[in-house]
A and B are shown apart, each in its own frame.
Chain A
Amino acid sequence: MRLDYPSNIKIIRVPCTGKVDVMHLLRAIQKGADGVYAVGCLEGACHYNEGNLRARERVNHVRRLLEEIGIEGDRVRMYNLSSGEGPTFAAYAREMAENIKMLGPNPLKKH
């Protein structure tokens, strides 16, 4: 398909979004990433039944934790798509990049 998506996004592959832990998301922000998002399978279509639902819960938890310490929770998001949806993957990447551009750099970078 040769689709374009923003080059400032680094992909970290995991076997299932259920593998994504609170600490992975938090550490990304702590180390200076401007944002981090998990892309999982469509809800109801998880190969492991509820991996993506667990990921969503963890993403929401991290959003709350960040808000508590004074960092915008929206720097962390969860998206869902099926593995055949390349154009949607690129669209979500652009959407996330736009969202982060609006929020500006990670506030921790100034400190």
Chain B
Amino acid sequence: MSVSDALSRRRLLAIGSAVGGGALLAACTSNEKKGDSGSGSQTVNNSQGDNTAPGKAVKIGFSAPAADHGWIAAITANATAQAGKYSEVTFVPVAAGKDVTEQRPAVESLISQKPDVIVMLPHDGAQMTSTGRKAMDAGIPVVNLDREFSDPLAYRLLIKGDNYGMGVAAGHYIGQKLKGKTNPVIAEIPGIDELQLTQDRSKGFRDALALYGLKVGPRIAARFTVASGQEVTANLLSGNPHIDAVWNHDDDQGVGVLQAMQQAGRKEFFMVGGAGSLDAMQHIKAGDTPLEATVTYSPTMASSAINLARLIAQGRKMSELAELQVPKLIILQSETITKDNVDQYMPLGFRS
């Protein structure tokens, strides 16, 4: 009897502490910071012109992939925040899930709600083209965000970043600093190499470096993740005892890249990043790492897309343009952020 008593007491104690521990652990999933009020999203304050003046009420539909990294999360956050700035805008976001097969029905249900305009960042431009076309055919203008449809009839406005331009910007920065040097070692750390955008970035980088008579040396791809950035860079540094410059395509994986550089105690080179995350900007400002500059591919494009979608729906013009309608194609310039202008860009930085 006493044995089983002790057993059950032990069991009770175990269960009790398990429940208590579980409650404690569950409380540990919170990421609320004290005094953390901002959502970290950016909006556009365009003070010039009369475009901010309220117009007729419009309903803007929005669809973007579920966030799998900071950049996409920032896209949705920016769009939501920007739409919230206009009292006459009703913002109707639909979850686009994890791939095209989930985004297609989501957007189709959006079409049936008959919004005045749809802003869409497709999972895959080519595969979502027919859905974009369907909306256009139903008389709903589509603002195609970043990933381009294969048919121009499927969008009213295409607004996208410039991957090739990113490579060019990084190439110019490195080229200007290293020009005249004999055989400098320029390393490149791309993200997922199978993606067209990675190929475009690398081509821009090569082309720009060629203008200075320079070539890319070691080039090892990571996978856009922090851990892969760390592993690839640690090995890359080991294999190249002297490096002059590094271009890392992506500030998300850059966290790991910088960590590997610190672990190896290497700082004979300078580094250029990509995308323009808040973290990267803070390092550029502080000058505490080899990261000297980053070339933007900014999720603020979502804010701009909402602004332009609103103008399209209201039939208004862009105040700086003579034409009476919003243009059809906007390619954003990849900007180079350095210590000199980082303060200006800091408000646009996204949390990775």
Partners in one complex: no
